[in-house]
Chains A and B, each alone.
Chain A
Amino acid sequence: MHEHDVIVVGAGGAGLRAAIAAQKAGADTAIVTKLHPVRSHTGAAEGGINAALREGDDWELHAYDTMKGSDYLGDAPAIETLAQDAPEDVIRLEHWGMPFSREEDGRVSQRPFGGLSFPRTTYAGAETGHHLLHTMYEQVVKHGVQVYDEWFVSELAVTDHDDPEDRTCHGVVGYDVQSGEVAGFKANQGVILATGGPGQVFDHTTNAVSCTGDGQAMAYRAGAPLEDMEFVQFHPTTLPSTGVLISEGVRGEGGILYNEEGERFMFEHGYANNEGELASRDVVSRAELTEVNEGRGVNDEYVHLDMRHLGEERIMDRLENILHLAEDFEGVDGLVEPMPVKPGQHYEMGGIETDENGETCINGLYAAGECACASVHGANRLGGNALPELIVFGKRAGKHAAGEDLGEAEITTGRTDETEPGEVDSPVSLGAVDSSDEDAVADGGAVTGESVVEQAVDAQKQRVEQLLEKDDGVQHAEIRERLQKAMTENVNVFRNEEGLKTALREIRKAREDYQDVYVDDPSRTFNTDLQQTIETRNLIDIAETITLGALARDEFRGAHWRQEHQERKDDEWLKHTLISWDEGSPDLWYKPVVLEGENKTYEPKERSY
C-alpha cells in the first residue's frame, strides 16, 4: 500500500494544479493517473483562458457574464470565486513560464470570445491548453510531486456509513496498467478527484478516448451526488468526420458561418441578431442543427465556417494550428476553402457536487475540474471558462486538502433542509441490476483508514479476477458502441420525452448486457481490454444520470432543450438536479440555486445575444 497525505487522481489541468498547491502547502502529495500527465485532455484546449486582467474589465463583469451564460443556474459564490481568483492564477502561470501570446508592449494577449462583454480570453496561440498542461507539469516536476502514471483508479476507499455525509474517504484503489498489479493508495488528509469529463458517453465528441467519466462514476457510487448532469455542451464547430474541435477562436477572430445557400444564417435567420457567430455555444449549435434539419445544411450534415477573409498573415499568427487540424483530420485547407463543421459533444457542465473549496459531502473527498460541479457553468459554459476553473478550483481543493484555511464555504453539499425530493417517470427500472456486487462502499465495519483501503483493494482484486476469469459473453466494445449511439441519437442537442425514454431503455439494456461482459485478453501486462471494460461500466452510470436529469427537467434552459417545453421556467426550475446512488439505485433530488453574490443578487434575465 502506498501512503501519502494527499492523493490526487488525474493529472489534467485541475489535477496538476491541485497537486502543486497541496505540495506547496506542505502536504506529501502524489498524483495517480491513468495517462502520463502530458497526455491529459487538457492539452487539447485551444481557445484560451478567461481572466479579467485589464483596465476596463473587472471580476464583477466576468462574474456577470458567467452568470448570464449559465442561464442563472450557476451558484454565485462559485462564479465569483472563479472571477476573483482567475487573474492572479493566470499571471502565476505566466510566471511559471507559460508562453502566452504577446502584444507589442510585451503584455499577454487577450481576445474576444462568445458571451463575453470584454475581450478577456487570454491565449497562447491556438494551443492554450497544451501550454497550460505542460507548464504545470513542469512545476510538478520542479516540486517533486510523486507521479504514479498509467495507474488506473477504479474505486474509492470509503467507509460504509449509511448516510453519505458521515462517510470518510481514506484513499483509492489503483490498477497498474503496465503490470496488472492492484494496489491501495492511502490518503491521510484527502483524495482529490480530477478525472475530467465523460465525453465518451457520446460517439461524436471533441473529448479524448480516455474521457470516460471515471471520477464521476466512482464518486457517485461512493455516495457523492452528481449535479446537473443533463447539461451537456455541444460545441458548434467540430469537424464532421472525427469530432476534432475547431476553436471558438476562429469565430472570435472573425470567422463566419454559412449554410449551403451561402447565407450568414446567424443573422439572416435571426438566431442571434446582435452577436451573430459569437452568441453562446448552445445558441449556435441549435442554429446549425436547425439549418441542417430544414434542408439548408451542406450535404445535409454540416455547415461551413469560413475564415479566409482574415488573411493568411493573421491566420498564421493566431490560428495556425486550426489549419493543421483541418488539413490532417478533414483534408481541407482553411486558407483556400471554408471548413465543414457540425455540433459535437464538448463539455459536461454537471459533475460531482462540491462547494467552492472543492469539497464534496464525503469527508476527505474533493473534486475539481470538469469532473466537478461547483457550479460555475450552470446550464451552459462560456468558452474559455473551463481552464480558469481548473486552476482556480484545483488550487483551492489542493490547499484545502492540505489543511489550509480558506474560510467557510457558502455553498452547501449533501442534503440540507433546503433540498427537495424529485420524481421522474422512467420506463425501466434504474440503477444496479444485481446490487450485491455493485456496492462500492466498503462494508464489514472496517474502522481504521488502512482497513478501509485494504478492503477496497480486495474487492477490486476480486472484480479484476472475475472479469479475467469469465470466458465468454459480450465484449465491452459492443456495449459501448450501442450506448454511444443511443445517447447521440436521443440525448443530443434536441431532446424530447420519447427519445429520452428510448435512451433509458437502451441504457438498461446495456446494464443487463454488462452483467455478461468478459475480457478476452488474458494477459496482465498492459491489458487495455480490461481497462476499457471497467470504463464502460462507468459510462453506463454516467449516461443514466444525464438522461435521467434530462427527462426530469421539463424546461428549456441553457444547453438543455426540450421539444415539449420551449421556455425557461424560473418559478419551478431555479434549482440544481442531484442524483445520488442510493444502495444501487439512483435517487433524484433538488437544491436551490444560490444567486446571492458578494455585493449583489443576480436577477434572472432573458438570455439573448
Chain B
Amino acid sequence: MSTQDASAETEDAQTEPSTGSAHQDRRMREKRERQAERDEQAQADAEAAADEEAVQLKVFRYDPEVEGKQEPRFDDFHVPFEKGMTVLDALIYARDHFDSSLTFRHSCRQAVCGSDAFFVNGSQRLGCKTQLVELEEPVRIEPLPHQDVVKDLVVDMDHFYDQMEAVEPYFQEKEEDLPDAEGLEEQRQSPENREKIKMSSRCIWCGACMSSCNIAAGDNEYLGPAAINKAYKFAMDDREGEDLKQHRLNILEQEHGVWRCQTQFSCTNVCPKDIPLTEHIQELKREAVKNNLKFW
C-alpha cells in the first residue's frame, strides 16, 4: 500500500540531500546505534518517572530519511504530569528530555499562531489549548489526517495555504484611489456589521477544520471550511460594497466552493476558535441563491 510508495520514494530521497556522501551514511548508522542505547536510557528514566504521576503519550513518528522511521510507528513517552499541563507542554517535555528529534510545529503557546493542530485521541485539537486532564490515557498524538506528513507531527500545509489564498482574501480597494497622507479618512462601519464578521475574523489558519472535513479529504479542490469562512469575512463586510460582494459570491459559487459542503459539522466541532463554520457556509449558500434569483 502507500507505505511501500513511501519507502520507494525515500530511496532517492536519501541520496539527494547527502549527495552520496559515505560520511553521512556512517553517521546515520552510528546515530542509530546510539539511538538504541538512549532509547533504553529514556525508557529507564521514564519508568522511574512513572512512579510519580506520569502521562503516557503515544506519538506518531516518521522521517523519510532516517532508517527505522521510514516506516511510520508510534513511540511511547512517559511524561511527569504537572497541574495545568497541555498536550504541547508534554510534547516539549518529551522532546527536551527524551528525544530531541521529536518534531512538531509550535510557537506562541497561547492559541494564536495556529501552528500546533494535531490529531489527538481521534480529534483535531490545538496542542497548546488542550489540557491533558481532559484526555483519556494513553494520549495518542498524530499529525493532522488528510495531509501529507513531512516528519513526525509536521504536515505539509501548502495546499491549505493555497486554498486560503484562492478566495482573494484582501480588500480590493485600489491603492491609487486612496489619498496619500492628509485627507485619508477612516471608513465608517456600524458596530453591528463589525459584530457580524467578528467570529469569522478569528481564524488562526490552523487547518484543523480542513483536516476534519470528509469532503475536503475526498476533493482536493474543495475550498474547505477555513477558506470559505475567510471569504465570508470579506463578503459580509459592508465596507467593500455591493459589486465586490457579487464578485466574492461568484468565487464561492464555483463548483468546488460552497456547494461542496455537505453540512457534516465536523469543522465546526473542531475549530479551536469556536467559529460557527457550517453556519457561515450555509449563510453563503443562501446568499448565493438569493443573488442568482435576483439575476433571473
Q: How distant is the Cα of A210 from the Cα of B113 in the complex, in angstroms?
A: 11
Q: Which of B64, B105, B131, B187 contacts A95, CB < 8 Å? A: B187
**Bound: A353/B27 CA distance, A:** 43
A360, B6: Cα distance in complex, Å: 48
How far is B109's CA from A208's CA once the two chains are assembled, in angstroms? 7
B161: which A residues are within 8 A, CB to CB? Answer: 36
Q: Are B201 and A131 in contact (CB under 8 A)?
A: yes
Report yes or no: A97 in contact with B184, Cβ–Cβ below 8 A.
Answer: no
- A290 contacts chain B at the CB level, 8 A cutoff: no
Inter-subunit contact B101/A520 (CB<8 Å): yes
Contact call A97/B171, Cβ cutoff below 8 A? yes
Chain A residues within 8 Å of B23, by CB: 469
Chain B contacts of A95 at CB under 8 A? 171, 173, 178, 184, 186-187
Question: Given A36-B157, A107-B188, A209-B107, A522 and B28 touching (CB < 8 A)?
Answer: yes
- A525 and B30 contacting across the interface, CB-CB below 8 Å: no
The answer for the CA separation of A477 and B77 in the assembled complex, in Å, is: 18
Would you call B202 and A127 a contact (CB within 8 A)? yes
Per-residue 0/1 for B177-208: is the Cβ within 8 Å of any A Cβ (1 yes, 0 no)?
01001101111111100100110011011000
A-contact bits for B108-135, CB 8 A (1 contact / 0 none): 1111111100000000000001010000
The verdict on B253 contacting chain A, using a C-beta distance below 8 Å, is no
List of A residues within 8 angstroms of B188 by Cβ = 105-107
Name A1-50 residues within 8 Å CB distance of B.
24, 35-36, 38-41, 43-44
Interchain nearest-CB distance for B204 vs A (Å): 7
Nearest A residue to B151 via CB reads: A526
Q: Which among A134-142, A276-284, A586-594 touches the partner chain? A: A134-142
Which of B65, B107, B111 contacts A35 (CB under 8 A)?
Answer: B107
Beyond A35-B115, A92-B184, is A130–B101 a contact (Cβ under 8 Å)? no
In Å, the complex CA distance between A527 and B31 comes to 15
A103: B residues at CB distance < 8 A: 191
Instruction: Look across to chain B and name the residue whose beta carbon is closest to the beta carbon of A105.
Output: B188
Does A325 contact B17, Cβ atoms closer than 8 Å? Answer: no
Q: In whole Å, how far is B117's beta carbon from the nearest beta carbon of chain A?
A: 12
CA distance A24 to B174 in the complex (A): 12
Q: For window 89-117 of chain B, which residues contact chain A by CB distance below 8 Å?
A: 95-97, 99-101, 103-115
Interface residues on B, range: 35 or more
Evaluate contact between B150 and A477: CB separation under 8 angstroms. Answer: no
Within 8 A of A (CB), among B1-59: 17-18, 23-24, 27-28, 30-31, 34
Q: Say yes or no for B175: interface residue by CB 8 A criterion.
A: yes
Q: Are B191 and A97 within 8 A (Cβ)? A: no
A105 to B192 alpha-carbon distance, docked (Å): 11
| Known contacts A244-B109, A524-B17, A471 near B34 by CB under 8 Å | yes
**Chain A hits for B108, CB < 8 A:** 39, 41, 43-44, 208-209
A138–B170 CB distance below 8 A: yes
A202 CB to closest chain B CB, in angstroms? Answer: 14
Q: In this assembly, does A414 line the interface, its C-beta being within 8 Å of a C-beta of chain B?
A: no
Partner of A329, one of B110, B113, B198: B110
Q: Cβ of B204 and Cβ of A130 under 8 Å apart? A: yes
A410 CB-CB contact with B under 8 Å: no
Q: Which residue of the partner chain, among A106, A325, A524, contacts B189 with CB atoms under 8 Å? A: A106
Asked if A309 is an interface residue, CB under 8 A from chain B, the answer is: no
Complex contact B204–A99 (CB within 8 A) = no
Q: Is the CB of A91 within 8 A of B113?
A: no
Docked-complex contact B189 and A102, CB < 8 angstroms: yes
A156 to chain B, nearest CB (A): 23
Instruction: Please determine whether A38 and B204 come into contact, CB atoms closer than 8 angstroms.
Output: yes
Residue of A nearest to B66 (CB): A523
A477-B100 in contact given A142-B170, A208-B109, A331-B84 (Cβ < 8 Å):
yes
Nearest CB to that of B177 among chain A residues?
A95
Do the beta carbons of B187 and A94 come within 8 Å of each other? yes
Determine the chain B residues whose CB is within 8 A of the CB of A39 once the complex forms: 105, 107-108, 113-115
Q: Is B165 a contact of A101 with CB atoms below 8 Å?
A: no
Answer yes or no: B234 CB below 8 A from chain A CBs. Answer: yes
Contacts of A325 in B (CB 8 A): 110-111
Chain B nearest CB: distance from A125 CB in Å?
A: 7
A521 interface residue, CB < 8 Å from B? yes
Interfacial chain B residues near A245, Cβ < 8 Å: 110
User: What CA separation (Å) do A88 and B109 show in the bound complex?
Assistant: 33
- Asked if A273 is at the interface of the complex by the 8 Å CB criterion, the answer is no
Q: Is A417 an interface residue (CB 8 A)?
A: no
Shortest distance from the beta carbon of A547 to any chain B beta carbon, whole Å: 24
Check B34–A130 contact: CB distance below 8 A: no
CB distance from A128 to the nearest CB of B (A): 11
* A472 closest partner in B (C-beta): B34
On whether the beta carbons of B101 and A523 are closer than 8 Å, the reply is: yes
Interface string of A279-309 (1 = CB under 8 A from B): 0000000000000000000000000000000
> B113 near A35 (CB under 8 angstroms)?
yes
Q: How near does chain B come to A126, taking the closest CB pair, in angstroms? A: 11
A260 within 8 Å of B by Cβ? no
Q: B277 at the A/B interface (Cβ < 8 Å)?
A: no
Is A498's CB within 8 Å of the partner chain B? no
Give chain A nearest CB distance to B74 CB in angstroms: 18
* The one of B104, B105, B186, B237 that contacts A97, using a Cβ cutoff of 8 Å: B237
Report whether A130 and B170 are in contact in the complex, using a CB–CB cutoff of 8 Å.
no
- Bound Cα distance A272, B64 (Å): 59
Q: Cα distance A162–B107 when bound, in Å?
A: 38
Contact B204 A525 (CB under 8 A): no
Say yes or no for B154: interface residue by CB 8 A criterion: yes
Decide if A65 is an interface residue (CB 8 Å cutoff): no
User: Closest approach, in angstroms, between the C-beta of A88 and any C-beta of chain B?
Assistant: 5
A99–B111 CB distance below 8 A? no
Given A35-B113, A44-B110, A330-B84, A525 contacting B63 (CB threshold 8 A)? yes
Contacts of B103 in A (CB 8 A): 521, 526-529
In the complex, per-residue mask of B125-153: 1 if CB is within 8 Å of any chain A CB, else 0: 00001010000000000000000001110
Q: How far is the CB of A414 from chain B (nearest CB, A)?
A: 31
A156-211, CB < 8 A from B:
178-181, 208-210
Asked whether, in the complex, the Cβ of B194 is within 8 Å of the Cβ of A101, the reply is yes
- CB of B31 within 8 A of CB of A91, answer no
Cα distance A102–B202 in the bound complex, in angstroms: 17
B239 within 8 A of A: yes
Question: Roughly how many angstroms separate A525 CA and B97 CA in the complex, as a whole number?
Answer: 21
Is A242's CB under 8 angstroms from B109's CB? Answer: yes
Contact A471 B204 (CB under 8 A): no
- In whole angstroms, what is the CA distance A179 to B13 when docked? 10
A303-349 with Cβ < 8 A to chain B: 324-325, 328-331
CB-CB nearest in chain A for B83:
A241
Contact indicator B115/A102 (Cβ below 8 Å): no
For A441-475 the 0/1 string (1 means CB < 8 A from B) is 00000000000000000000000000011011001
Q: A525, B151: Cβ atoms under 8 Å?
A: yes
The 18 listed contacts between A and B (C-beta, < 8 Å) are A94-B186, A95-B171, A95-B186, A99-B233, A101-B191, A106-B189, A107-B188, A141-B169, A208-B113, A209-B106, A209-B108, A477-B100, A522-B24, A522-B27, A522-B28, A528-B104, A529-B100, A529-B103
10 new A-B pairs (CB below 8 Å) besides A97-B171, A526-B152?
Answer: A41-B113, A44-B108, A95-B178, A101-B194, A108-B186, A139-B170, A209-B106, A244-B110, A329-B110, A526-B150
- Top 7 nearest A-B pairs (CB, nearest first) are A106-B188, A521-B101, A97-B171, A138-B170, A142-B170, A477-B96, A39-B113
A residues adjacent to B (C-beta < 8 A)? 24, 35-36, 38-41, 43-44, 53, 88, 91-92, 94-97, 99-108, 125, 127, 129-131, 134, 138-139, 141-142, 178-181, 208-210, 241-245, 324-325, 328-331, 468-469, 471-472, 475, 477, 481, 519-529
Write the residues of chain B forming the contact surface with A, with a CB cutoff of 8 angstroms: 17-18, 23-24, 27-28, 30-31, 34, 63-66, 83-84, 86, 95-97, 99-101, 103-115, 129, 131, 150-152, 154, 157, 161, 165, 169-171, 173, 175, 178, 181-182, 184-191, 194, 197-198, 201-202, 204-205, 233-234, 237, 239-240
